[in-house]
Amino acid sequence: MSNWLSRLLVAAIGLPVVLAAVYVGGWWAFTLVALAALIGLHEYWLLSRPLAPLAPAGYVGALLALVGIEVGGIAWGLGGVLTTFPLAFVLKAISEARAAATIAISGTVLGAVWIGGGLGFLLLLRELPEHGRLAALTVLLAVWAGDTFAYFGGRLLGRHKLAPSTSPGKTWEGLVVGTAATIFVAFVALYHQNFLTIGDSIVLGAVVALAAPLGDLFESLLKRDMDVKDTGRLLGGHGGMLDRIDALLFAAPAAYFTILAFVT
């Protein structure tokens, strides 16, 4: 199967499933996010194997963060993810691995906070007291639009490398096209919805347009450190789960706090 065909098939199947789960919300959205977190963490453990991460502590911390968010909000989620620290310390104390404690524990905590915490903010967006469904769907669609148009914009117009040493395929032209698409989607989705003003929706789109590529570049930097191209092949031409959600892991927290600043 060609790379293009696999990309189209994954998008055609996955996009409706994700949107439907987020639209319904509740434990349906939680199940989707938890599954994505577990797969993403598995890929991260394989990626960071030279750091000897303490995977059980990371799994527990990430899942407790998601459960805490679902049942008690951001404070409980923070408490959940912080359990990664003592669990990682205990596991390192009894581990026979030669990796330095600082490296092993730091790598473990990074995975739990980055993946579990990042995806947790999608649940927080969905559970906003008013217009949570609209907020979560808008962020998802804006991130996907920005990623898609940045890819095609870069392929068609790209001449100047954005970060040649980190992600050689990304260009400034692609970034401009993706940014325009992200802001446009946020504006259209929120227009006349009695939620955010036109100015607020444009600012939200700009925040997502900035945060999403940073999330992508962050994952690219980790992959470059470990000398791998993709984190997996689960999603065909899209790569692994982390390759698909990396932008969202930065964009969801940024969007959540931006919306809070506007509505409180």
Q: What is the pLDDT of residues 159-211, one digit of tens each?
A: 889 888 888 888 999 999 999 999 999 999 999 899 999 999 999 999 999 99
Q: What is the pLDDT of residues 63-115, one digit of tens each?
A: 999 999 999 999 999 999 999 999 999 999 998 777 789 999 999 999 999 99
Higher confidence at residue 57 or residue 155? 57
Higher confidence at residue 118 or residue 192? 118
Is residue 179 within 8 A of residue 169, CB to CB? The reply is no
Q: What is the pLDDT of residues 212-264, one digit of tens each?
A: 999 999 999 998 888 777 776 776 656 789 989 999 999 999 999 999 999 97
Structural tokens at position 185: 């989607």
Q: What is the pLDDT of residues 129-144, one digit of tens each?
A: 989 999 999 999 999 9
Which band of pLDDT confidence, cut at 50, 70 and 90, is reported for residue 23? very high
Is residue 22 within 8 A of residue 133, CB to CB? The reply is yes
Determine the Cα–Cα distance for residues 128 and 182; give it in Å rounded to an integer: 21
Nearest-Å Rg of the Cα atoms of the chain is 18
Which band of pLDDT confidence, cut at 50, 70 and 90, is reported for residue 151? confident
Determine the Cα–Cα distance for residues 223 and 96; give it in Å rounded to an integer: 26
Among the listed residues 39, 17, 37, 38, the one whose alpha carbon sits nearest the alpha carbon of residue 28: 17
Among the listed residues 39, 42, 79, 36, the one whose alpha carbon sits nearest the alpha carbon of residue 61: 79
Structural tokens at position 145: 């639009």
Which pLDDT score is estimated for 117?
96
Provide the residue ranges of all domains of the chain, joining segments of one domain with +: 30-127, 132-264
Determine the Cα–Cα distance for residues 168 and 164; give it in Å rounded to an integer: 4
> Any idea which residue has 């990396």 for tokens?
246
Is residue 108 within 8 A of residue 53, CB to CB? The reply is yes
**Considering the entire predicted model, what is its pTM?**
0.93
Which pLDDT score is estimated for 236?
64
At residue 6, does pLDDT exceed 70?
no
Over residues 145-165, mean pLDDT? 88
Alpha helices per DSSP H over 191-236: 198-226
Q: Cα 3 from chain centroid?
A: 23
Q: What is the pLDDT of residues 30-76, one digit of tens each?
A: 999 999 999 999 999 999 988 889 999 999 999 999 999 999 999 99
Beta-carbon-side half-sphere exposure of residue 205 (alpha carbons within 13 Å) = 26
